[in-house]
Structure 1
């Protein structure tokens, strides 16, 4: 009995040491990320300040040039008036001189002749135009807030702290050998039928949106009953997402725009596109649960590259990641630590960038001699990255720093065809994993996380 107690104590010590080591590594990683973010913020402030100074110099130079041009125009007008007035005065002086010649008229005939000559003279006042004085309007409302619009302002001073505290209370339920437990199956019944569950967006605890390869986008409940059908004809993968207020955002590839459908009884679309860009074609979209920002993966041309763009709730662009790491970012999501995670099937990789835009890592598979075809991607509250691998037909778990942890679900027996490797993934509010079958209208729900209750675990 004593030996068993000693062994249990030893195991607890090892477990505590292991967790302390991991927590210390996480803290060091967070410190590095914070320092990088702070340095990035300083650089951004300096760059924006320098840009504002250059803008002020340019405006000052242009204003002086405009004032100088106005001055030349007015001076030219005044000089022209002087020339007209000078010519008229010369004419008057000449006439006065002719009056002086009257004294030379000694006979009545000469006086009459001179009188007729004077009568024929025309005297008029020249038309002079008085130019108006130029005006200048100055904005007196220059203050700190107006300057901050150009320099930038910190908007979130406590990102993700509360979520990280929640993460300490959970652990992965399955190990390397033990698979997750299926706790539910949803079969979508609709007309037209759903040709596979290519992408899933959870609206709330009772409803979700699901789409197939043929562009059928459907709103269904937990019983599989379809409440609304949108025929988009888009064949993108992660082309729709749901905001925290329930509004649906979906991509229209042909028009290169993002549509917003307001949550109500009918999910009515707005009159105009939420985001539109004639140059870049959007292929994937995700609405952040934490900031409400919209992440969009888009393509310009296969030869010119791809990008991830962040927009705020109003549709204003606030960040752009134009990286050679991207080829076709067909799924995009955001981790609890703010990392931007992209599943790129053309690159055969999961590409992760820091929230400030710096590249963190690229995962291309756990085995150097095996292929890797990533598709559906999502993140759990432990900051792990879950991605479906079409080559191994498995859901893989990656750590937030790019290490392979385990194969969570092996779906090899269900389907052997390669073409149907794309599967939609999502995690609900109870931390259950939703997996859409790409070859049928079925969604399976798995439980793989549980709350830690025994401190000796």
Structure 2
């Protein structure tokens, strides 16, 4: 496993030729000498009469050297063969012993190399298939858990809504029943009140009759005995009220459950998670390897490029959504980003159709950069933050820069690092972040402790890792090594020079806009002036933004128009 890790690490770094005093790329390997070779040293190696029979292959196809192990019987000899009959490793001297007489032997290094390749393949499968596939399934499970939580929360909300609805209906029915009982009570009491009045009237009638009878019975009025007979009216008939009866509702917990509903697990067989077959991943791996080889061949072809004797205009882009083009960025799919002095940032396709427009709170600085995955990173100097726009146009905050205002930003094509030019009060610096947003490095002063930057408005990275910054206040292109050491500063050709947009190309050239002379300067990797490749004579009025695409075309944005012009300057 350790050897596999070493193998992986070696693939991530520059391979150096094993020939003494040679520092070229060791892309070849001698299986006999077990040594890395550059192309030139390989040719020299094959010319030697002693080495002509050596097998030289590409480094990735090499045979792995057999680990050194001393023979226990012959400590001065290395174990380097395998007895086919006995299936034990031994040294060359062991093979002459009588117990191995007549036996056949295999080269142990050949067996080791085959086994190593086999286990490396298995290790690669873990890295490229089993681990990412399982991690993908784990992520799917985590997403399902999040979704389940959302669903259950929604169900609980629905339950509460149903319960509240039932409670409201219960309150409504109860209120109606109570009101009806009051109405019934009022009606019954009215009827009883009427009966009271009837009996009161009859009692009054009886009182009157009693007075009359007493008069008749008086001894002084015996004559009345002979007058008329008094008759008493019968007692008025009234009815007893029938009291209302409350009939209680008949329900139980199940009835309420039926009314409110309940949570059930559907009687559905769980669907198995889809696991991408290893064949599909292997095919993708092969395709990726083919792409890598094509990319290498393309890179080899680029090394044959040179400056053209003339600059040719290729095409123009009209970028709706901006009034001018102070900065331009080109992604691999041919979509162009441009920003103007008002902070408008717009994306257009090859036909000039507006795809996206935002306001990034920035102006005439190089505050956006395309990433290797086809997205965009841009800074917001007022919010002191850096944002990411994914290829599907989702915008998320990526990095907070504290109390430093991020001006310029560049995404490395070498390793995906993010370079940010910043300022705070009268200080300025360049900060390097990893592609995940972790702060790695701060570059602020030169070897003498002097301030390296003042106003880093545009920034780019060269093919050797140099950090090239267009510093407006210093009126210079300031170039620092990847380590942060100051390499050189370019301040024009003796006349006034005010740098704006800056970029680099596949040959290590540095291209920079000169506002004062309305031109584009071309420098070599070490800051030596080569030429003015664009000037008013080529139709350039006031260049501001620059970028170079994968086809080595130069994109130029200007102050006076939202048209971006494309030029070919390499052949």
* TM-score band, normalised by shorter chain: 0.5 to 0.7
1:391 has 2:512 as partner: no
Contact 2:331/2:549 (8 A) holds in 1: no
CA distance in 2, matches of 1:438, 1:258: 25
User: Any residues of structure 2 matched to 1:198-237 within 5 Å, and which?
Assistant: 198-237=326-365
> Match of 2:544, SS?
coil
Contact 2:333/2:374 (8 A) holds in 1: no
Cα deviation per residue 1:275-328 (whole Å; 9 max; x = unaligned)?
Answer: 1122111001000111100000000112xx210011001100111101212110
Contact 2:511/2:520 (8 A) holds in 1: yes
1:269 has 2:395 as partner: yes
Residue 203 of structure 1: how far off its partner (Å): 2.0
Residue 386 of structure 1: how far off its partner (Å): 0.5
Query: Could you tell me which of 507, 515, 519 is aligned with 1:382?
Result: 507
Q: For residues 236 and 281 of structure 1, do their structure 2 counterparts lie closer, same or farther at Cα, with a shift above 3 Å needed?
A: farther
> Match of 2:395, SS?
coil
1:279 has 2:407 as partner: no
Contact 1:373/1:391 (8 A) holds in 2: yes
The equivalent residue for 1:328 is: 455
When normalised by structure 1's length, the TM-score is: 0.57
1:295 has 2:419 as partner: yes
CA distance in 2, matches of 1:169, 1:415: 28
The equivalent residue for 2:431 is: 309
The equivalent residue for 1:6 is: none
Residue 194 of structure 1: how far off its partner (Å): 1.5
CA distance in 2, matches of 1:307, 1:412: 36
CA distance in 2, matches of 1:401, 1:163: 25
CA distance in 2, matches of 1:237, 1:376: 8
Query: Could you tell me which of 307, 325, 335 is aligned with 1:172?
Result: 307
CA distance in 1, matches of 2:498, 2:443: 23
Residue 231 of structure 1: how far off its partner (Å): 1.8
Query: Could you tell me which of 366, 383, 390 is aligned with 2:493?
Result: 366
Q: For residues 167 and 226 of structure 1, do their structure 2 counterparts lie closer, same or farther at Cα, with a shift above 3 Å needed?
A: same
CA distance in 2, matches of 1:163, 1:394: 31
1:185 has 2:316 as partner: yes
CA distance in 2, matches of 1:362, 1:261: 33
The equivalent residue for 2:229 is: none
Query: Could you tell me which of 419, 424, 434 is aligned with 2:555?
Result: 434
Question: Rg larger in 1 or in 2?
Answer: 2
Residue 165 of structure 1: how far off its partner (Å): 5.1
Query: Could you tell me which of 323, 327, 341 is aligned with 2:468?
Result: 341
Query: RMSD over aligned Cα, in angstroms?
Result: 2.3
Cα deviation per residue 1:341-383 (whole Å; 9 max; x = unaligned)?
Answer: 000111100010011111100000112xx11011011011110
Cα deviation per residue 1:413-440 (whole Å; 9 max; x = unaligned)?
Answer: 8576xxxx55110101110101012211
Structure 1 unaligned residues grouped into runs of 5+: 1-27, 32-160, 451-457
User: Any residues of structure 2 matched to 1:96-135 within 5 Å, and which?
Assistant: none
Residue 185 of structure 1: how far off its partner (Å): 1.1
CA distance in 1, matches of 2:452, 2:298: 29
> Match of 1:423, SS?
strand
Residue 201 of structure 1: how far off its partner (Å): 1.1
Structure 2 unaligned residues grouped into runs of 5+: 1-20, 25-295, 446-450
When normalised by structure 2's length, the TM-score is: 0.46
CA distance in 1, matches of 2:480, 2:298: 20
CA distance in 1, matches of 2:316, 2:453: 34
CA distance in 1, matches of 2:348, 2:543: 20
Contact 1:261/1:268 (8 A) holds in 2: yes
The equivalent residue for 2:565 is: 444
Contact 1:163/1:336 (8 A) holds in 2: no
Residue 219 of structure 1: how far off its partner (Å): 0.8
Q: Which moved more, 1:396-405 or 1:234-243?
A: 234-243
